[in-house]
Structures are given as C-alpha cells and as structure tokens.
C-alpha cells in the first residue's frame, strides 16, 4: 500500500498534491501505512480515505465482483461505504465535531463483499486526529474484523443451547417413560447382556420387597425375585445366556416371594440389538398369571369331574361347539343305540326332532334368562336342539323303579338324581360356571332318606 500511495494521483482529490500536504497529514499517513494493525484514516471535510495492507482483507479480494480495493484509496468515505454509512456516518461525525473517541465491540455491520451482502462483525475505535493548529482534521479507525470469532462463539452457544434443550427433552421423555414404566402392573426391568440388572420398575421392586439400590448392579439370577425359589437362579442364568445370544425366551415358572407366598409368572426375556445386530440390552418382563393358572387347574379338575360323572351316568351328556357334538357320554349307546364315535363331530340337528324345543325360545327371551334349570336330566330334550347346551349336576343316586316295574330278572341300576342347566344365550363355559356354583352351594346337603 505504501508504493500504491506514492504513485497515486492525489492531485485529483480534494487533498491536492502530496507536496502541499500538512505535516500532520504526512505523519498520520506514514503511521497508518507502517502499522501492522488494520487501520483506516479519514482526512478532511470530505473524509478522504487512506488504509494499510492489514486493512485490505476487510475490503474483499481485488479480483472479485465490485471490488472496493484498490478504488477505496483516495475515495470519499460516504461514497465508499454506502451500504453502512447510515451507521458509521453519525459515529464519524460525532468524533469530528466533539473530539471524543468511540469504541465499538463486535459491532454487526453487514457489508457488500465478494459480490453479495455479507454478515460481518467488527471491533473498532474512532479517534480524532488534530492538525498543527490543534483543530480536528481527521478520524483514525483502528479495527479488527471479528466475524469468525463471533460466528464461532454463536455456533458454540447454539450447540450448547441445542444440547441443553436435547437434555431437557431427554429428561422429560425419561420422566414420562418412568411414569409409564412405574405405572404398569407388569414386572419390567433392563439387563446388560451379561445379566447385570440395570433398571427395575416399581411393581417388580414391591414384589421383591426391595429398594432399587439393593438390586441394581447385581446379576438378575441373584436378586430376591429368584433367590427364595429352589432351582430358579439356574433357570434364570440359562435364560439370560440364551437371550444374550439373540433368542427370545419365554416360559412359565413359580416364584416364591420373600414372604413365602408362591406366585406363577409368565416370564420373558427380549434381546435388544443395535444397528450392527449385536445384543446390547435384555428386557425381562414378568406377568403374574397365578389366578389364570389356578382357574385353568380348577377348570381341568372340574372338567375331569364332570367327564367322570358323565361316563358313569345313565343319562346322555353332550358337549357342543358351533352346533356340532364334541363329546357324548357312553350312555348314548344304551339309550339310543348310537356309538359315541358315530355322533361326535356331526351336527346335532341330524339327531333331533324339529319340534322338541317349541316355545322355549320365547320363554327365555321374554324373561331374559341365561339358562333354564331342570330336575334330573330332563333338560336333555332341549339340548337335543342346536344352540341349547346342557350341563347336568347329579348329587344323589335314586332307585330305578319305573311303573310298571322291570321284569324280576332285570338288574336296574340306580339313576343319578340332580339338576341340569340348559341355555340358549350361554356358552358351555358359562353353564359349567353356573353348575359349579350350584354344586358348591349344595354339596353339603343331606339327600332325603329314600335316596341311597
């Protein structure tokens, strides 16, 4: 820039030829050109510009579109900085009229550079420059472009804010998941692939009567959920090993609580994989199926009991599914001459008279009945039609003494005496439930003396 200033035609500017410059202008121009700090000097009423090599990058590349360098040398300030003059013009005017220096840190001053309007930040000072008579003759600008630092700082602040918001969102999400996690009645946890317990929900902790800090970090098999049940720890270790290998494991098992109470659980271990397919977590989940298990056992026992009764009863007992016979007692051979295998899996309508249940539909619908109760096995006449399943509950044996009596050489076996439940709207399980309730309510009654 020193060489460019020496060859510049200053006579064509309001400053005139260099030989006529004041000593103060010569001194300031030389100081600006010699400095390695970015400097710009406005001189005279027209604010003619001088700048040094350190200031040149702020003007943009000389080969770019609408370059400020080198045409900014010797140019009037207002004509050079038209894009930001509304901001810096009053600042320079204040220095030129009051003689008070100003300081501006990280001032946002977007300028036209590289053919477009760029967001640029500056830290700069305006200082008055006096001539030999002590009058303010110019304004010295010492500046530093801080765009990179400001942008970098803002990006860092934005990253920190994004991280803060992400962490806050994660905390809120974790709180919601924890609420769901702890609010479920099922027993859920989280394991490392080696079986170490990482997390457990409230229901599972309450079942084991344990605090979270007492179980977190221990192997799943060594926790109070299994330590009170013989054989359970070994079964859990095997299940964890299989789940860690990628297998979904599910089985039912009895677990004894620390209090001694035994409950039946449907236990599963679900492997969780990462993007590469490696198992990184295991989710154990337990569902208490004790009541269901007991109900199934009771139902099986009840079915076995009723089947036994049906096998030895002289009445015909049938079970229907979608109007097809699924079971018929052996007495059907003695009464009707059919073999059970001839009837089972066939529609019941093939064996029934169409008028057997006349009027029954109207009675049941009028009184909104679930089932009809008949003495003995007389409900079998209704069960002979599709849609009327029947369950018989015998509770005594009556002598088989018809009128007229059987021949003397005929050995008539006693017949079961009880009640039968027939229902149009009921499914067979509902009838079994009604029959079971009746049986439980009457099982301690003493039969009349005439019954054996």
pLDDT, tens only, 50-109: 999 998 888 877 666 667 888 889 999 999 888 889 999 999 999 999 999 999 999 998
State the fold for domain 2-145: Beta-Lactamase (3.30.450)
Mean pLDDT of the chain: 79
How far apart are alpha carbons 57 and 65 in whole angstroms?
15
Using CA atoms in the order 356, 360, 362, 367, what is the torsion angle rounded to 10 degrees? Answer: 180
DSSP output for 64-105 = SSS--TTTTTT-BHHHH-TTTHHHHHHHHHHHHHH---EEEE
Helices H / strands E in the chain, number of each:
15, 17
Q: Residues 374-379: what's their mean pLDDT?
A: 53
Q: Residues 270-276: what's their mean pLDDT?
A: 91
Q: Which residue ranges does the chain devote to CATH 3.30.450.20?
A: 2-145, 184-288
Instruction: Please write the tens of the pLDDT for every residue from 51-65.
Output: 999 988 888 776 666
> 214 vs 198, 209, 255, 334, CA distance in Å?
12, 10, 19, 68
What pLDDT shows up at residue 208?
83
State the fold for domain 184-288: Beta-Lactamase (3.30.450)
DSSP output for 371-423 = -EEEETTTTHHHHTSTT--EEEEEEEEE----SSPPPTT--PPPEEEEEEEE-
**Does the predicted model carry a pTM greater than 0.75?**
no
Residue 448 has pLDDT above 70, yes or no: no
Task: Answer yes or no: are the C-beta atoms of 389 and 319 closer than 8 Å.
Answer: yes
Query: Six-digit token pair at 315?
Result: 């009445």
Query: Six-digit token pair at 277?
Result: 């397919």
Which uninterrupted H or E stretch holds 321?
A: strand 318-321
Spatial CA neighbour of 334 closest among 360, 319, 314, 317: 314
Task: Answer yes or no: are the C-beta atoms of 356 and 381 closer than 8 Å.
Answer: yes
């Amino acid at each position: 820039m020193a060489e460019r200033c020496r060859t510049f035609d200053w006579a064509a500017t309001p400053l005139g030829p260099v030989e006529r410059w004041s000593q103060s202008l010569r001194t300031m121009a030389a100081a600006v050109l010699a400095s390695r700090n970015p400097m710009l000097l406005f001189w005279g009423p027209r604010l003619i510009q001088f700048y040094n090599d350190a200031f040149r990058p702020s003007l943009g590349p000389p080969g770019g579109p609408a370059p400020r360098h080198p045409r900014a040398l010797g140019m009037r300030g207002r004509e050079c900085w038209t894009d930001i003059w509304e901001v810096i013009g009053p600042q320079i005017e204040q220095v030129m009229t009051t003689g008070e220096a100003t300081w501006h840190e990280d001032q946002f001053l977007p300028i036209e550079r590289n053919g477009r309007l760029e967001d640029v930040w500056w830290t700069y000072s305006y200082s008055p420059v006096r001539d030999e008579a002590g009058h303010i003759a110019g304004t010295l600008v010492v500046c530093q472009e801080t765009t990179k630092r400001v942008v970098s700082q803002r990006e860092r602040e934005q990253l920190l804010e994004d991280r803060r918001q992400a962490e806050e969102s994660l905390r809120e999400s974790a709180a919601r998941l924890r609420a769901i996690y702890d609010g479920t009645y099922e027993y859920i946890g989280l394991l490392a692939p080696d079986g170490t317990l990482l997390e457990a929900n409230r229901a599972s902790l309450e079942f084991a009567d344990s605090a979270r800090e007492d179980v977190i970090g221990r192997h799943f098999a060594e926790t109070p959920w299994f330590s009170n049940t013989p054989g359970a720890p070994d079964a859990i270790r095997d299940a964890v090993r299989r789940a860690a290998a990628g297998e979904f494991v599910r089985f039912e098992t009895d677990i004894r609580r620390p209090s001694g109470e035994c409950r039946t659980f449907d236990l599963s271990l679900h492997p969780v994989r990462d993007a590469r397919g490696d198992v990184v977590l295991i989710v154990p989940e337990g569902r208490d199926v004790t009541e269901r298990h007991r109900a199934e056992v009771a139902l099986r026992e009840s079915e076995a009991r009723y089947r036994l009764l049906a096998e030895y009863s002289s009445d015909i007992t049938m079970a229907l599914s979608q109007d097809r016979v699924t079971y018929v007692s052996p007495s059907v051979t003695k009464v009707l001459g059919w073999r059970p295998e001839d009837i089972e899996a066939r529609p019941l309508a093939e064996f029934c008279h169409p008028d057997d249940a006349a009027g029954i539909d109207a009675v049941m619908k009028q009184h909104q009945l679930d089932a009809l109760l008949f003495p003995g096995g007389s409900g079998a006449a209704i069960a002979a039609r599709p849609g009327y399943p029947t369950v018989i509950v015998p509770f005594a044996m009556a002598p088989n003494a018809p009128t007229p009596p059987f021949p003397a050489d005929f050995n008539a076996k006693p017949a079961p005496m009880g009640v039968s439940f027939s229902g149009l709207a009921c499914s067979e399980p509902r009838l079994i439930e009604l029959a079971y309730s009746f049986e439980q309510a009457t099982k301690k009654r003493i039969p009349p003396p005439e019954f054996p």
